[in-house]
């Protein structure tokens, strides 16, 4: 066996956005504000759904679960990034199925999307995400790392960590592509299939007003899907095409911070039920305090 000079390491270095010490306090304040807005916004969505019985429907059950996943994604790293990003991926697919049933089978909606089915979809999403996160994270333990441990992102993204390994990463790379096809491609295929069914059903409607109303109920979810997959794709394309750690770090911000901050606004601003519930909840806040 060929001898290799390896160093035992216990930490990785996240490069961040800039090295300018004068701008770092400004960026700290900016990111602190973004994280607080993200956590508080998603927390308000959770509290609104829990406090109002009118929002105890499958759509809001999935939305509150997505808000919980966003909060956890803002607060955690490494294995948990994989876990909650995967959970968000699966929840978006479950929400697409929910919209498909609501539009294509409105009279049977509450029968098909009963509490048992909704809970099973959440449980299946969670178990799938846990298996994916543990499988990919534990396989990193078999790797050896050298001295260069700088990651041009704001979080320990798995593919970048593997690129820093000195040992053979063939099995890890195969596993990443396999997991991407199964755990990533599966939910995405479900979303595409659901919206194919929705589009086919809506186009057969005779009323233009009915078509608009049906499509408008999907607007918030489609915005979240495009934001989640668009920013995620941007991170991997930027790291593969752009040879600039700073630009790659900016792309990682768009993926790890922006979607979680924007999601509550997408649903609250486009949904009258949520806005009314939040208005009532904010009105009760002084008495609760």
As a residue count, the chain comes to 289
pLDDT of res. 194: 92
pLDDT of res. 34: 82
**Token pair recorded at residue 220:** 């918030």
pLDDT of res. 246: 67
pLDDT tens by residue, 137-164: 888 878 787 766 667 666 667 777 777 7
Among 74-83, 84-93, 94-103, 135-144, where is mean pLDDT lowest?
Answer: 74-83
Q: Is residue 18 part of a domain?
A: no
Q: Which residues contact 154 (CB under 8 A, 6 or more apart)?
A: 14, 16, 17, 249, 252, 253, 256, 257
Q: Is residue 3 part of a domain?
A: no
Q: Is residue 4 part of a domain?
A: no
What confidence category does residue 2 fall into, taking pLDDT thresholds of 50, 70 and 90? very low
Q: Is residue 12 part of a domain?
A: no
pLDDT of res. 58: 86
Q: How many domains in the chain?
A: 1
Q: Is residue 11 part of a domain?
A: no
For residue 13, what are the β-bridge partners? 150
pLDDT of res. 190: 93
Phi, psi (rounded to 5 degrees) for 23: -85, -15
**Token pair recorded at residue 39:** 């956590």
pLDDT at 172 over 80: yes
Q: Is residue 229 part of a domain?
A: yes
Give kind and range of the element (H or E) at residue 150. Answer: strand 150-151
- The CATH number for 69's domain is 1.20.1070.10
Task: Report the predicted TM-score, pTM, of the whole model to 2 decimal places.
Answer: 0.76
Whole domain around residue 217: which residue ranges? 23-288
pLDDT of res. 1: 40
């Amino acid at each position: 066996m060929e001898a290799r000079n390896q160093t035992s390491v216990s930490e990785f270095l996240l490069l961040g956005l800039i090295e300018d010490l004068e701008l770092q306090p400004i960026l700290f304040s900016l990111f602190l504000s973004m994280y607080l807005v993200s956590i508080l916004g998603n927390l308000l969505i959770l509290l609104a759904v829990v406090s109002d019985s009118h929002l105890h429907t499958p759509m809001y059950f999935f939305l509150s679960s997505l808000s919980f996943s966003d909060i956890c994604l803002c607060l955690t790293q490494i294995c948990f990034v994989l876990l909650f990003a995967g959970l968000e991926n699966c929840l978006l697919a479950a929400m697409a199925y929910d919209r498909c049933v609501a539009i294509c089978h409105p009279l049977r909606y509450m029968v098909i999307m009963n509490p048992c089915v909704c809970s099973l979809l959440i449980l299946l999403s969670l178990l799938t995400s846990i298996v994916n996160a543990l499988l990919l994270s534990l396989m990193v333990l078999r790797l050896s790392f050298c001295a260069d441990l700088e990651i041009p992102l704001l979080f320990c993204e798995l593919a970048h960590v593997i690129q820093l390994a000195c040992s053979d990463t063939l099995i890890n790379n195969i596993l990443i592509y396999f997991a991407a096809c199964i755990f990533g491609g599966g939910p995405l295929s479900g979303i595409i299939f659901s919206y194919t069914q929705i589009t086919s059903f809506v186009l057969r409607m005779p009323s233009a007003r009915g078509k608009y109303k049906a499509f408008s109920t999907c607007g918030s979810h489609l915005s979240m899907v495009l934001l989640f997959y668009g920013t995620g794709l941007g991170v991997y394309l930027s790291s593969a095409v752009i040879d600039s750690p700073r630009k790659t770090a900016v792309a990682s911000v768009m993926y790890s911070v922006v979607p979680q901050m924007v999601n509550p606004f997408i649903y609250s601003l486009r949904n009258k039920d949520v806005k009314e519930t939040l208005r009532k909840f904010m009105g009760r806040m002084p008495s609760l305090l």
